[in-house]
Amino acid sequence: MPSTALALTPGLASFLKSLKTNPIDTSIDNLISCASKYLPQYFFEIATDTVARLLKRRQIRHSRSCATATAYLLLRVISACRTTDAAKLIERVQSVGRRLVAAQPREMVVGNIVRRVLGLIRDEAEDDRDAEFALSEASESQPQTPRVTDDPSVPHERDTLSLRHEASERSSSRPPVASSTTTPISMFSLLSHPEPEPSLPGSPVSVSPSGRVLSHGPNKDVRAEVLDGIGEIIDELGQVDDQIAAYALDHIHSNEIILTHTSSTTVQRFLLKAAAKRKFTVIHAESYPNNHEATHATVSGNSGGDEEILSTESFQKPLIALGITVILIPDSAVFALMSRVNKVILGTHSVLANGGLVAAAGTRVIARAAKVHQTPVVVVSGVYKLSPVYPFDFESLIEYGDASKVVGYDDGDLVDQIDVQNPLYDYVPAELVDLYITNLGGHAPSYLYRIVSDHYRKEDISF
């Protein structure tokens, strides 16, 4: 039955397949009407276990795969949860989320997706509650909104790029109106009365964080709305590289020398987009020992092996096919070549709330070398990698990988006598990054807090 079928899944693709094709999947929908409460419960217990196990064993590794798996799982969890009560949905999602995060605490994107789904549920629940006050709310928040976004919120580091971001943000699916009204006005809550006066529910002062009560009454189908929202998140995950690549021509100019690192598909897509129009040179650091094979494959264009994860990307033409000169260098040559590089473009594993990032080992060396040579460092990353977690302890974020990649176990004498470590990630502080390009546009590292507060609810930061 499903437990064995799912437990043996080797990776993400088969997990997703099993979600879609598993006979129990269709039977759930049929059986729900028979009020069989145990089956859906049983199903997502198993599914959660499977994802947790995949994460733990690192059978799902790439950030995007983890994000996709989480989003699909939550989609199943919510559709199996036959309730319109937002509070129950939140509880359910939180418990699933906690298990996933516990399975792989260093994989930030899992928590990010869970937080976004929680935010979706809360938004829907509050929309229902606020619907009746819509008129008074709208009249009060409309004149306020343009000022909130237009005021120089980052006075000293605001540049044209963040302005451009705002334009794109305004046109994006999340209107700024929502963010300005849903975030509680923190300092005023110090002064306002504890219980919100029922006669003035729409006014900003009475909206204290404690006063937010989720609706319990009969309302429209919160669940359906949330499922739509998760569908949008999944769509976003699918389009994110293309959206980021759309900014490529603004940042890569003719005859520039670009340095990059690892086989990040986001970076490849970005460079390919620019290569369609311009001629430039790419210096590719091979990122030994954890990613060098994939990097070599990316450069040469014959990607073998890991087809399961790179299934769509493996159809991608390599840069050399578009007439771009690609120079593959060992990681140790980065500093020597940095003086000739015009721009460093890096992929990342996750981005933290303070503007720092956790990226493949070797990234910090490159960023540091770029700083010494005053070379701009651009990080391309989907918004889904942006985590509201503050890096209290940098060491705890670093994951260690297979030491045999550095010294093979067949080299017995050496292995016996030395301690080999193979960190997979580096923490790169915000000062070393000049610009982030996300699917919303380009942002200064100091501006990321704003995107964090737009995407995640404060109450969900530690769920």
Site for another protein, rule CB under 8 A: 144, 147-148, 151-157, 183, 185-194, 197, 199-200, 203-205, 353-355, 390, 392-393, 446-447, 449-450, 453, 458, 461
Nearest-approach distance from CB 451 to another protein, in angstroms: 12
In a 13 Å sphere around the CA of 213, the CA atoms on its Cβ side amount to 9
274, 111 in Cβ contact below 8 A? Answer: no
Cis peptide before 289 (omega within 30 of 0): yes
Between CA 460 and CA 453 the distance in angstroms is 11
Nearest-approach distance from CB 215 to another protein, in angstroms: 23
- 67 exposed, middle or buried (CB, 10 Å; 0-12, 13-18, 19+)? buried
Q: Return contacts of 307-312, CB within 8 angstroms, 24+ apart.
A: 308/10, 308/11, 308/12, 308/13, 309/11, 309/12, 309/13, 309/61, 309/62, 309/65, 310/265, 311/13
Nearest-approach distance from CB 70 to another protein, in angstroms: 24
- 205 versus 337: smaller Cβ distance to another protein: 205
Q: What is the largest CA-CA distance in the chain?
A: 79
- 166 versus 236: smaller Cβ distance to another protein: 166
- 14 versus 446: smaller Cβ distance to another protein: 446
100, 70 in Cβ contact below 8 A? Answer: yes
Between CA 93 and CA 84 the distance in angstroms is 14
Tokens of 344: 């460093």
Nearest-approach distance from CB 231 to another protein, in angstroms: 30
376, 435 in Cβ contact below 8 A? Answer: yes
- 94 versus 453: smaller Cβ distance to another protein: 453
Nearest-approach distance from CB 196 to another protein, in angstroms: 12
Which residue type does 325 have?
A: T
- 152 versus 330: smaller Cβ distance to another protein: 152
**By C-alpha distance, which of 54, 40, 56, 36 is closest to 2?**
40
Nearest-approach distance from CB 397 to another protein, in angstroms: 13
- 293 versus 459: smaller Cβ distance to another protein: 459
- 436 versus 447: smaller Cβ distance to another protein: 447
- 36 versus 192: smaller Cβ distance to another protein: 192
Nearest-approach distance from CB 144 to another protein, in angstroms: 7
166, 205, 226 from 455: Cα distances, Å: 14, 23, 15
Nearest-approach distance from CB 194 to another protein, in angstroms: 7
- 147 versus 419: smaller Cβ distance to another protein: 147
**By C-alpha distance, which of 187, 174, 110, 114 is closest to 451?**
174
- Those residues whose C-beta lies under 8 Å from the C-beta of residue 291, and which sit 6 or more positions away, are 262, 263, 360
Nearest-approach distance from CB 442 to another protein, in angstroms: 16
